[in-house]
Amino acid sequence: MSDAKFYSPEIIRKYDEARRRVEDLRRSDTSYADSVRDLAKSEDKFRKEYRKDGLPEELIGKYADKYTTLNLEKYEAQKSNWIDGLTGLRNKEALYGEMPGLMSLEKRNGHDCSILMVDLDHFKEINDVHGHLAGDQALKIVADIIRGSVRKSDLVYRFGGEEFLVALCNTDSRTSWEIAEKIRESIEKVSIIVLDEDGNQQALKKTMSIGCAGTDQLGMWKHTTDDNVKDALEELIQKADSSLYKAKNTGRNQVVVFDPGNENE
């Protein structure tokens, strides 16, 4: 029998509200550990309020233990392992560590989310012509440009090599194109200044290819639960990646949104 049959909607609403506060902090603040620690200071207050409402300890544990001070400290320790050393972005471990929870939250709130797979065109040429140090400098600059081109609520990850992933909460596939196009234009307009192997400054003009996919394009999204949300994430990444592949193989420097009608091409 579900908890909701025993406890009032108001009690459950308070817990969901507290959980959303934490997730909103984690989603909107790249240094979210500090913000979450501040929220943890209110832990006793939350628990006392919930006990006053008659919620028993076992249900408090179910809803609140994830955000106890101890677990929040674990988040802080974990953060150092979730940051890419070169770009300062979240890494792939962070993606798989936090996105399932964020997607579950969006699903409960009736929102879609989208993913952008972003790849720097002809990156290998930078390493081959100017050296790997120049390549690293370019990646740092590109990471900053992407970070500066998205909304505060969007999460940017270094997915691997010259490939980045942008997670967009409360965003469908159509809106994801608009954000992706802003990133693409930002890269196209700037000169990426790096130092070559001889210490000479080089101004590089580079472009981006981007693939987009949204949960509104997932057949399983309607039935996604906390138990299978990781499968939804994997499918979303796969569809965005296939769109990126199409963007790179049909001219580069473009944004391609996943087309379910061409899924089997």
d(CA 242, CA 230): 18
Q: Which two tokens stand for residue 4?
A: 């909701």
The verdict on whether 162 is a catalytic residue reads yes
How would you class 14 by CB atoms within 10 Å of its CB: exposed for 0-12, middle for 13-18, buried for 19 or more? Answer: middle
| Strands (E) located in 190-241 | 192-195, 201-204, 208-214
Are 33 and 79 in contact, with CB atoms under 8 Å apart?
yes
Distance in angstroms (rounded) separating the CA atoms of residues 219 and 91: 28
Which residue among 10, 162, 181, 185 is the active-site one?
162
65-81 per-residue burial string, b: 16 or more CB within 10 A, e: under 16: eebeeeebeebeeebee
Q: Is 106 exposed, middle or buried (0-12, 13-18, 19+ CB in 10 A)?
A: buried
DSSP for residue 74:
H
CA–CA separation, 138 and 143 (whole Å): 8
Contact 183, 149 (CB under 8 A): yes
Phi-psi bin for 93: left (phi > 0), alpha (psi -120 to 50), beta? alpha
By CB neighbour count within 10 A (0-12 exposed, 13-18 middle, 19+ buried), where does 201 fall? exposed
Catalytic residues: 162
